C-alpha cells in the first residue's frame, strides 16, 4: 500500500531493489510478485505497508451478495498455511501467545457495512488459524486486512508494522513535516549519483535530507567506497533548523543553517540536486504569499543549481509552481499527482538546461 499517486515510483523501487515483478497498480495499491520473500521486503521505503496477497478481485457487485463471495474467497482462494509460514519467516513470532487481528477498510458506497465485510472475512477464516491464537485489538502479531475500494477488494496478511511508515530517525516532529514515504519517493525521483551536493533550502525537520541520505546508504562506487555526498539544508525558522539538526546528526549531516531560501549564502552553480517541500498556502500568513515565495525561491534555486542539475519539488499549488518554473526555463521531466493528509499535491522533477547560465 502506498500513498495514492505513488504507485509508479513504488513499483520502480520494487523492481530495482527487490527484483520484483509488478502485476498491477492503482488506487494506492501495487500488487507484485517476488521469487523469494524474505526480510528485505521490509526495507522498501516508498511503501506505507506490505502484505502477502491472499486474494483479490475487481468485480465486487456493491450488493450484499459480495459478503458471500468475500467469505468464499477467504475460505477457498488463499493458501493460509503457506502464507502464515512465510509471515513467520519474515516477522518472527513474538514470545508468548500468538495474537491476531482482522482489519477492514472500505471506500465507495456499498449495500453493506465495513463491519459486515469484516465478519465475512472472519467466517471465511474459520478453522484456518490455530485455535490457540487469541484475538487482540492492539499489537497483534498476525493481522489480516481487507481493503475495499469501489469494485476492487484485496485481502492480505500484513508483513510490515508501523515502523515502515514512521521512521525511527524522527525524534523531532513539525506539524508541516512531509510523510517519510513521500520524502523517499522524492529522493528516488531526484536520481542521486555519487559525489553530488544535495540541497533542501526549506528543510523543516529534515525529512527530505534524511530520505535522500538513506537512499544512498549502502551504495558503493565502482572503486568500492561509499558514495561521497554532500547534503546541506536550511530554514528561515531557527527552531526548525534545530529540529533538523537533532534528526540528521545520526547521518552526519551537519551543514544546516538558518537562512532565507530567497537569498541563499551559496555560490552560483554549486549544487547538483535540490529537494524541496515549500510551505503550502494554508501554512503561510496569507495564501497569496505562495506566488511571490515560489517565484523568488525558484529563481534562487536556478542560480545555485549547476547546469544540467535537477530539482524535485512538492507543492499543493501546481499553478504557482509551474508559473515560477516557466520564468527560469526549467524543463519538467516527470511528475506525480498524489494525495497527502487529505490534500492533493504535485511532485514534479525539473532539469536546468545543461548549457544554461545561472
Ligand atoms: C512544509 S515545511 C517543510 C517540511 C519539511 N520537508 C519536513 O519534513 O519537516 C516548509 C518549511 O519552509 C520554511 N520556510 C518558509 N519560508 C521560507 C524561506 N523564505 N526560506 C527558508 N525556509 C522557509 C518553513 O519554516 C518550513 O519549515
- pLDDT tens figures, 16-35: 999 999 999 988 999 999 99
For residue 181 and ligand 1, the question of a CB distance below 6 A is answered with no
Q: What mean pLDDT do residues 99-109 have?
A: 95
Q: What is the DSSP pairing of strand 21-26 with strand 29-33? A: antiparallel
Q: What mean pLDDT do residues 126-146 have?
A: 93
Q: How confident is the model at residue 93 (pLDDT cuts 50, 70, 90)?
A: confident
For residue 249 and ligand 1, the question of a CB distance below 6 A is answered with no
Q: What mean pLDDT do residues 340-350 have?
A: 89
Q: How confident is the model at residue 95 (pLDDT cuts 50, 70, 90)?
A: confident
Convert the pLDDT of each residue in 244-290 to its tens digit.
999 999 999 999 999 999 999 999 999 999 999 999 866 666 778 89
Mean model confidence pLDDT for the chain: 93
Q: What is the DSSP pairing of strand 230-235 with strand 197-200? A: parallel
Q: Rounded to an integer, what distance in angstroms lies between the CA atom of residue 82 and that of residue 75?
A: 14
Q: How confident is the model at residue 119 (pLDDT cuts 50, 70, 90)?
A: very high
Residue found under cell 465486487: 60
Structurally, what CATH architecture does the domain formed by 180-351 represent? 3-Layer(aba) Sandwich (3.40)
Q: What mean pLDDT do residues 106-128 have?
A: 96
Task: Report how far ligand 1's centroid is from the alpha carbon of 131 (Å).
Answer: 52
Q: Rounded to an integer, what distance in angstroms lies between the CA atom of residue 236 and that of residue 147?
A: 42
What are 73's three cell numbers? Answer: 474467497
Convert the pLDDT of each residue in 164-180 to its tens digit.
888 888 888 888 889 99
Q: What percent of the chain has pLDDT over 90?
A: 83
Q: Rounded to an integer, what distance in angstroms lies between the CA atom of residue 101 and that of residue 83?
A: 16
Domain ranges within the chain, ordered by starting residue: 7-164, 180-351
- Measured from the Cα of 205, ligand 1's closest atom is 9
Closest CA to 188 of 340, 333, 62, 9: 9
Task: Report how far ligand 1's centroid is from the alpha carbon of 80 (Å).
Answer: 47
- Measured from the Cα of 284, ligand 1's closest atom is 15
Task: Report how far ligand 1's centroid is from the alpha carbon of 42 (Å).
Answer: 30
Instruction: List 99's β-bridge partners, or say none.
Output: 134
Q: Rounded to an integer, what distance in angstroms lies between the CA atom of residue 302 and that of residue 63?
A: 55
Residue of the CA atom closest to atom 1 of ligand 1 = 279
Residue of the CA atom closest to atom 25 of ligand 1 = 237
Task: Report how far ligand 1's centroid is from the alpha carbon of 200 (Å).
Answer: 9
Side-chain half-sphere of 230: how many Cα atoms within 13 Å?
7
Q: Rounded to an integer, what distance in angstroms lies between the CA atom of residue 246 and that of residue 319?
A: 34
To test the pocket of ligand 1, the residue of 210, 235, 300, 314 to mutate (highest count of ligand atoms within 8 Å of its CB) is: 235
Q: What mean pLDDT do residues 326-348 have?
A: 92
Side-chain half-sphere of 81: how many Cα atoms within 13 Å?
2
pLDDT for residue 357 is more than 80: no
pLDDT for residue 358 is more than 70: no
For residue 178 and ligand 1, the question of a CB distance below 6 A is answered with yes
Counting Cβ atoms within 10 Å, is residue 218 exposed (0-12), middle (13-18) or buried (19+)? Answer: exposed
Task: Report how far ligand 1's centroid is from the alpha carbon of 63 (Å).
Answer: 47
For residue 240 and ligand 1, the question of a CB distance below 6 A is answered with yes
Convert the pLDDT of each residue in 209-251 to its tens digit.
999 999 998 888 888 888 999 999 999 999 999 999 999 999 9
pLDDT for residue 94 is more than 80: no
Convert the pLDDT of each residue in 48-83 to its tens digit.
999 999 999 999 999 999 999 999 999 999 999 999
Task: Report how far ligand 1's centroid is from the alpha carbon of 110 (Å).
Answer: 42
Structurally, what CATH architecture does the domain formed by 7-164 represent? 2-Layer Sandwich (3.30)
To test the pocket of ligand 1, the residue of 170, 183, 186, 202 to mutate (highest count of ligand atoms within 8 Å of its CB) is: 202
Q: What mean pLDDT do residues 115-141 have?
A: 94
For residue 50 and ligand 1, the question of a CB distance below 6 A is answered with no
For residue 8 and ligand 1, the question of a CB distance below 6 A is answered with no
Residue of the CA atom closest to atom 7 of ligand 1 = 177
Residue 60 has what pLDDT? Answer: 97
For residue 160 and ligand 1, the question of a CB distance below 6 A is answered with no
For residue 90 and ligand 1, the question of a CB distance below 6 A is answered with no
CB 87 within 8 A of CB 142: yes
C-alpha dihedral, 187 to 191 to 195 to 197, nearest 10°: -50
Closest CA to 303 of 259, 348, 352, 255: 352
Residue found under cell 508494522: 161
To test the pocket of ligand 1, the residue of 278, 300, 316, 341 to mutate (highest count of ligand atoms within 8 Å of its CB) is: 278
Residue 285 has what pLDDT? Answer: 63
Q: What mean pLDDT do residues 322-344 have?
A: 92
Lowest mean pLDDT of 63-67, 159-163, 184-188, 248-252, name the range: 159-163
Lowest mean pLDDT of 98-102, 169-173, 321-325, name the range: 169-173
Counting Cβ atoms within 10 Å, is residue 355 exposed (0-12), middle (13-18) or buried (19+)? Answer: exposed
Task: Report how far ligand 1's centroid is from the alpha carbon of 178 (Å).
Answer: 10
Amino acid at each position: 500500500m502506498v500513498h495514492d499517486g505513488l504507485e509508479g515510483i513504488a513499483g520502480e523501487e520494487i523492481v530495482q531493489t527487490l527484483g520484483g515483478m509488478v502485476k498491477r497498480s492503482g488506487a494506492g495499491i501495487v500488487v507484485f510478485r517476488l521469487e523469494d520473500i524474505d526480510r528485505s521486503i521490509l526495507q522498501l521505503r516508498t511503501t506505507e505497508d506490505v502484505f502477502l496477497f491472499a486474494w483479490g478481485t475487481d468485480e465486487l457487485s456493491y450488493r450484499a451478495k459480495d459478503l458471500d463471495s468475500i467469505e468464499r474467497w477467504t475460505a477457498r482462494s488463499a493458501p493460509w498455511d503457506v502464507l502464515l509460514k512465510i509471515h513467520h519467516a519474515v516477522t518472527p513470532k513474538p514470545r508468548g501467545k500468538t495474537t491476531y487481528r482482522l482489519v477492514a477498510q472500505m471506500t465507495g458506497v456499498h449495500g453493506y457495512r465495513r463491519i459486515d465485510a469484516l465478519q465475512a472475512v472472519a467466517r471465511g477464516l474459520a478453522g484456518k488459524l490455530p485455535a490457540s491464537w487469541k484475538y487482540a485489538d492492539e499489537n497483534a502479531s498476525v493481522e489480516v486486512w481487507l481493503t475495499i475500494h469501489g469494485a476492487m477488494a484485496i485481502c492480505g496478511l500484513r508483513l510490515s508494522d508501523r515502523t515502515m511508515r514512521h521512521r525511527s530517525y524522527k525524534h523531532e516532529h513539525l506539524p508541516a513535516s512531509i510523510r517519510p514515504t513521500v520524502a523517499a519517493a522524492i529522493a528516488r525521483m531526484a536520481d542521486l549519483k555519487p559525489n553530488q551536493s544535495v540541497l533542501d533550502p526549506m528543510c523543516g525537520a529534515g525529512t527530505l535530507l534524511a530520505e535522500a541520505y538513506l537512499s544512498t546508504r549502502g551504495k558503493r562506487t565502482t572503486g568500492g567506497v561509499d558514495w561521497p555526498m554532500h547534503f546541506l539544508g536550511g530554514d528561515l525558522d531557527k527552531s526548525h533548523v534545530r529540529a533538523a539538526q537533532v534528526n540528521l546528526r545520526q547521518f552526519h549531516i551537519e551543514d544546516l543553517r538558518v537562512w532565507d531560501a530567497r537569498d541563499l549564502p551559496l555560490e552560483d552553480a554549486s549544487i547538483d540536486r535540490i529537494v524541496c517541500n515549500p510551505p503550502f498556502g494554508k501554512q503561510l500568513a496569507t495564501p497569496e504569499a505562495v506566488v511571490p515565495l515560489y517565484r523568488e525561491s525558484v529563481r534562487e534555486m536556478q542560480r545555485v543549481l549547476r547546469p544540467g542539475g535537477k530539482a524535485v519539488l512538492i507543492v499543493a499549488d501546481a499553478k504557482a509552481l509551474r508559473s515560477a518554473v516557466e520564468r527560469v526555463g526549467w524543463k519538467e521531466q516527470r511528475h506525480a499527482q498524489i494525495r497527502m493528509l487529505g490534500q492533493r499535491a504535485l511532485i514534479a522533477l525539473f532539469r536546468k538546461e545543461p548549457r544554461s547560465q545561472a
